[in-house]
Amino acid sequence: MKLKQTLSVIALAAAAVAAPAAVAVTSANADTLICEQFGSATAGKYIVMNNRWGTEAEQCINVTSNGFQIKTQQGTAPTNGAPVSYPAIYAGCHYGNCSPGTNLPKQLSQIGSVQSSITYGYVGGTYDAAYDIWMDPTAKTTGVNQMELMIWFNRQGSIQPIGSPVGNATIAGQTWEVWQGSNGQNDVVSYVAPSALGGLSFNVLDFVKDVDARTRVDSSWYLTSLQAGFEPWNGGAGLAVNSFSADVN
């Protein structure tokens, strides 16, 4: 599905419109180039996906040992609509593709902590750098989950998250502007950094607990995947996830 959204829903979750389960995952060495629309490759215990769901224009990503870099991105989209893609690295299950050895989906009540670390490399363009946390009432490995938690580490250009601002939260030593809404398929809560963050080490459950307090999510729900990447509208060649780790304990 390819949608254009109004300004209140321009950050449509890429994973909600992402690669079909039939897409094969290949094993990657460092410097593996992926140009296929929904091409993906393993990178250690994670999967890197091109996920060019919103445009026919070329996008190629270079897979590294625990991240990736966008080498070419020729798609464009109006900033009052959806982005053109969501290239990302992830742990867990996404449209039937599960990362090697993952213990996700996992019920939130059975998780003690989810330690994660991310570092980004930025260039010019119109995009957000988003860390996506997907949850569902069932142990779902395919299709669209009912809750998307987004952490916006950076945004460039006249773009905004889905919904509207509902307040602020202090999590992981940072103050975030909180947005809440729906893209028509799933609920979305977004935590937006006031200025660009190059990276962060944090417990994912600190964000999940805040969503629990704001929404219908509770400890009976399942964590299905953890994803880190970019949603470009224009430009983006050179953007990179320099490092990514996520450990569900």
Let me know if 78 is exposed, middle or buried by CB neighbors in 10 A (0-12, 13-18, 19+).
exposed
Positive/negative CA dihedral, 204, 62, 19, 102: negative
Residue 123, number of CB atoms within 10 A of its CB: 14
Q: Is 100 helix (H, G, I), strand (E, B) or coil?
A: coil
Distance, CA of 121 to CA of 241 (rounded, Å): 6
Distance, CA of 25 to CA of 27 (rounded, Å): 7
Name the phi and psi angles at 156, rounded to 5. -130, 135
Q: Is 133 helix (H, G, I), strand (E, B) or coil?
A: strand
β-bridge mates for residue 131, sequence order: 151, 228
- Tell me the residue type at 151: I
Active site residues: 148, 231
- Residue showing tokens 């094993």: 27
